Amino acid sequence: MAVGQCDFPDMPGVAGITLGTACAGIKQAIKDDILVIQMAEQSTCAAVFTRNAFCAAPVHVAKANLAHKPRWLLINSGNANAGTGEQGMKDALLTCAELAKIAGGADNQALPFSTGVIGQLLPVEKITAALPEAMKNLSPDNWDKAARAIMTTDTFPKGVSKTIVLSGQSITINGISKGAGMIQPDMATMLGFIATDAKINQALLQNCLASAVEQSFNRITVDGDTSTNDACVIMASGCSAAPEITAHSEHYAIFADALAGVCKQLAEAIIRDGEGATKLMRIVVKEALHNEEAVRVGKTIAHSPLVKTAFFASDPNWGRILAAVGRSGIENMALENVQIFLDDVCIVRNGGCADDYTEEAGQQVMNREEITITVKLGRGKASQEVLTCDLSYDYVKINAEYRT
């Protein structure tokens, strides 16, 4: 079940980008489970990847091939091709080679991405057999199909589209993502694919993506687990009539802000679809010494099973939040300066329960689907937001039965 309204938006085509899906029958034979994205020849491409030391074979291959002017992305769901050793690397390379053979390009111009069960060998024959159909189905309008093909335990497809105008010419930015569990990106199981028709060089595009991801996907957590397969990719086809985006320009600032907005919306959609989630929790940490400190406090609260289960029960057990702030590793914290709020209700002040707090007021907030926890540290001017969800019975059930 998802928190809030999560309809897939109308997404226009992005000039120079086409998408095709097919059913390879990797884990099931009902829905499409492979996606091919083709970029115009002049496109630039940038990506960020998981920092998990056991990163999957496709992550290694995609990192290496990113330097060779990629033309195609190949994504499969149902199998992560992680923890598969040397054979996993061979399998990832083989699928790229087969795609390149069909498409008429070089093997190293394909970037592979996989999501699903860890530790099982990739069913290469099934994937390669389905590639011709996916290539035949290439279309600029297949964003909905693409978002569905990459889903695993997701309950809804996630997409965002945004249009900006530069020098009187429009630029489109479309993005899709998947993820509901094993979410704690560290650049959740998270994949994101973004396309734009902007003209921008690869180095600048890489900087722009890294900044956007830091503000969005790196500020969400469902369960504190960083996947072996996390990746976020942006493709810029250069097909817009708008002028090329250059560093330190007004156009760059507008584009960077729009890209960050797309990533933030996709990241929030992942939290709304957190496995078994019934509540969305915004944790806003203010008055920190620096951003890193604010994020540390926010994630300590977000990763607390005691906090998350209290929110599932709609129990205003504010002591659990106070305890999480206290163990977040902040040195020389002046407890009398710390204030904690549930929405607009102050629950902690002057080192203990706020004098004017009532259980009834706390309960009224906790009954809501979306709740903001605000922590004022009284130490500085930095502020950061972390998104998370509650921890329910269904989360345990989904992950206990993941392979059955």
pLDDT, tens digit, 9 for 90 and up, residues 13-36: 999 999 999 999 999 888 999 999
- Give the E-state strand segments of 186-333 in sequence order: 191-196, 231-236, 280-288
The answer as to CATH 3.60.70.12 being correct for domain 17-272 is yes
**Does the structure show a pLDDT above 80 at 375?**
yes
CATH superfamily of 280-400: ArgJ beta chain, C-terminal domain (3.10.20.340)
What is the rounded distance in angstroms from the CA atom of residue 184 to the CA atom of residue 219? 8
289 — phi, psi (to 5°)?
-70, -35
Q: Which of the residues 44, 84, 189, 226 is marked catalytic?
A: 189
**pLDDT tens by residue, 113-152:** 999 888 999 999 999 999 999 999 999 999 999 999 999 8
Percent of the chain with pLDDT over 90: 84
Amino acid at 72: W
**Does the structure show a pLDDT above 60 at 4?**
yes
Helix (H) or strand (E) holding 161, with range, is strand 158-166
Percent of the chain with pLDDT over 70: 96
Residue 206: pLDDT band with limits 50, 70, 90: very high
Q: Does the annotation count 172 as an active-site position? A: no
- Give the E-state strand segments of 57-131 in sequence order: 72-79, 110-117
Burial class (CB in 10 A: 0-12, 13-18, 19+), 27: middle
**Does the structure show a pLDDT above 90 at 240?**
yes
97 — phi, psi (to 5°)?
-65, -40
Quote the pLDDT of residue 304: 95
Instruction: Give span(s): CATH 3.60.70.12, the chain.
Output: 17-272
**Does the structure show a pLDDT above 50 at 227?**
yes
Query: What mean pLDDT comes out for the span 45-51?
Result: 94
**pLDDT tens by residue, 179-193:** 865 545 554 458 999
Burial class (CB in 10 A: 0-12, 13-18, 19+), 266: buried
Query: What mean pLDDT comes out for the span 277-299?
Result: 96
pTM: 0.92
What is the rounded distance in angstroms from the CA atom of residue 304 to the CA atom of residue 94? 42
Instruction: Give span(s): CATH 3.10.20.340, the chain.
Output: 280-400
Burial profile 56-73: b = 16 or more Cβ within 10 angstroms, e = fewer:
bbbbbbbeebbeebbbbb
